[in-house]
Structure 1
Amino acid sequence: MQYSLQDKYELNEKLRCTTWQYSKMLSLFRKVSERYPETKEYSFYGFLRRLKLIQRCIQKTFSIFPIELTAKLSGEDNTDLEIYIHSALINIYGALDNIAWTWVVAMDVKGKNETQLKGMQVGLGKNNKYVRDSLPDEILLTLEKIDRWNKEFLSPLRHACAHKCPPYIPPSCLSTEDDRTYRNIEEQINSEYSNGNFNTVKTLYAQLETLGSPAPYLIPSFAHESEPVMFHKTILDDWNKLFTLSCSFADYLLTVPYIQPE
């Protein structure tokens, strides 16, 4: 699994856009936190701090593993990459919750019998009935466009990270030819090891290290047959959906008449 030339061009363009997108979200949610000071825990300390972390994770991901990379990563770089992607996925999901809580507090959304919403009642998913019912059509339309992404991509990845295992990025990606060579060398290693030829074994292991190319994908889960996820594309797609959704919420909150909380 590798990126095409068109993929690389589009990813680099999206990466460049993250700078101004970050600035816009930063400006909008600062204004939201100022207009609705009661939301500051979620809009300022929550959403904006997560936003800073996510942007940094994206920058470090592309710095450690540029999409033009041809040489395999060191073990330390590979681990650092897993850390940054893990953090990005968790914080993107958390940023959506911050948006939901900002909305609930700012618009004083209530539950059944005018009770305060708690815990799992607050969110942007289809099961969050009270929140969804309170949304104006323009925000709901934006949200409905990304429901499938949230259900099929972001949520499964986040839940795997939080409850099963962190993202795993293979140390290399083997072509069909490299795979055959790898298996042959493994057989030689087993044979030489049995014969006590440890210097030869060491040489053969060094040959294994020369095979393959860097793997631009992660494995979300080992318990099930999950498809590999191209992580450069995934975190930028997640970022862009977060940008679209956050701007939609912020624009509405900054134009609707403000009602002082009792």
Structure 2
Amino acid sequence: MDYEVHHRQFAAPFLVVGNRENNLHFINESLQNHIYGVTNALDELVTDALFLSSLSLDPVGERHLRYGVMRRLRMIATAFRRFQSIIPPDRTAPLTLSQSDDVCRYLNSIYIDLLGLLDNYAWTLAFQFGSPATRAADRMQIGLFKSVLLKDPVLKKLMEQLHQFSTWAKEVKERRNPAAHRMPLFVPSAGLTPADVAEQQRLSELASAALRLEQFDHYRELKEAENRLGTLIPKFLHDPDGPINDIYPTLPSDIGNAVKVGRHVQTFIRENLPTYS
């Protein structure tokens, strides 16, 4: 699930200095294989969570696993599949208005659910394995990277293992929090060169004239030509002033890190249930 692995295998050996077209092809290959790896790992985690939910869990812990963890994993998986079907790594065509709306909805859903998933794991652990003090803690203090679970003697070792993801979790919050509270994440539909802008203005004026003359078929042709102008910019952002993120490998890497966290947590649950001790 680490992009660097795919880059070393599918891109690095074939890159040629000064040959942009060649290099872009192999970089896109490495990005696509990274997507496959993350998607497969995510599917495996969903299946494992389903299995865990059928075991002898505390009723409250089971509720958070079944209706929190599993729901979010499935929503992330669905949104990621639909997002990448519209914007694969090698896409250059501009987005239609409908596609732009769809990818923005999927992108915001993924980032909101990623942090929600981490909280669902924390609550599952707190009620499945937590001490009375942990269960009685302020609900706002229950989190995988907060002190309450770290102080719990049963969960301490797991929390120390998860500490390696704390910096990543802060980065995800920077991408997610504006989406939830201020400006939603956005993928620009296209980037236009000065020549594209001039052509867009020309086509728009012709379309307006065709509409006035009730030449509706010609009007539609001109608008379709206008919509084809430009090149997709594979970036996402909240505000035009930044920060700006590359779609790939950022998005699958964030999902991949959440999957790694899930593997740690779900392995801990499996190994520490009474029936497996």
Per the normalisation by structure 2, the TM-score is 0.75
1:99-134 CA distances to partner (integer Å, 9 max, x unpaired)? 1111111112454xx760232111123xx2111233
1:39-75 CA distances to partner (integer Å, 9 max, x unpaired)? 1221111111111110111110111112222321210
1:7-40 CA distances to partner (integer Å, 9 max, x unpaired)? 4222211222244323431233234332314212
Equivalent AA in structure 1 for residue 46 of structure 2:
L
Q: Which has the higher contact order (CA 8 A, sep 6+)?
A: 1
Select 2:86's aligned residue among 60, 64, 81.
64
Say whether the 8 Å CA contact 1:164–1:221 is kept in structure 2: no
Matches of 2:242 and 2:264, distance apart in 1: 33
1:43-192 equivalence runs, <5 A: 43-111=65-133, 116-125=136-145, 128-134=146-152, 135-137=155-157, 139-141=159-161, 143-152=162-171, 154-174=172-192, 178=193, 180-182=194-196
Local SS of the residue matching 2:48: helix
Say whether the 8 Å CA contact 2:186–2:237 is kept in structure 1: yes
Matches of 1:90 and 1:110, distance apart in 2: 30
Equivalent AA in structure 2 for residue 116 of structure 1:
A
Shift in alpha-carbon separation, 1:245–1:56, aligned structure 2, 3 A:
same
Task: Give unpaired runs (5+ residues) of structure 1.
Answer: 193-197
Task: Please say if 1:221 is aligned against 2:243.
Answer: no
Select 2:57's aligned residue among 25, 36, 42.
36
Task: Give unpaired runs (5+ residues) of structure 2.
Answer: 1-22, 211-218
Say whether the 8 Å CA contact 1:30–1:44 is kept in structure 2: yes
Matches of 2:43 and 2:85, distance apart in 1: 20
**Residue of structure 1 equivalent to 2:213:** none
Per the normalisation by structure 1, the TM-score is 0.78
Say whether the 8 Å CA contact 1:109–1:130 is kept in structure 2: no
Say whether the 8 Å CA contact 2:73–2:117 is kept in structure 1: yes
The total of aligned residue pairs comes to: 242
Report the Cα offset of residue 79 of structure 1. 0.6
Say whether the 8 Å CA contact 1:35–1:254 is kept in structure 2: no
Report the Cα offset of residue 82 of structure 1. 0.5
Shift in alpha-carbon separation, 1:208–1:123, aligned structure 2, 3 A:
same
Q: Which has the larger displacement, 96-105 or 249-258?
A: 249-258
Matches of 1:253 and 1:91, distance apart in 2: 21
1:177-200 CA distances to partner (integer Å, 9 max, x unpaired)? x1x3256568989xx8xxxxx639
**Residue of structure 2 equivalent to 1:195:** none
**Residue of structure 1 equivalent to 2:268:** 252
Local SS of the residue matching 1:229: strand
Say whether the 8 Å CA contact 1:182–1:208 is kept in structure 2: no
1:119-160 CA distances to partner (integer Å, 9 max, x unpaired)? 2111123xx21112333435523x2222111112x1011111
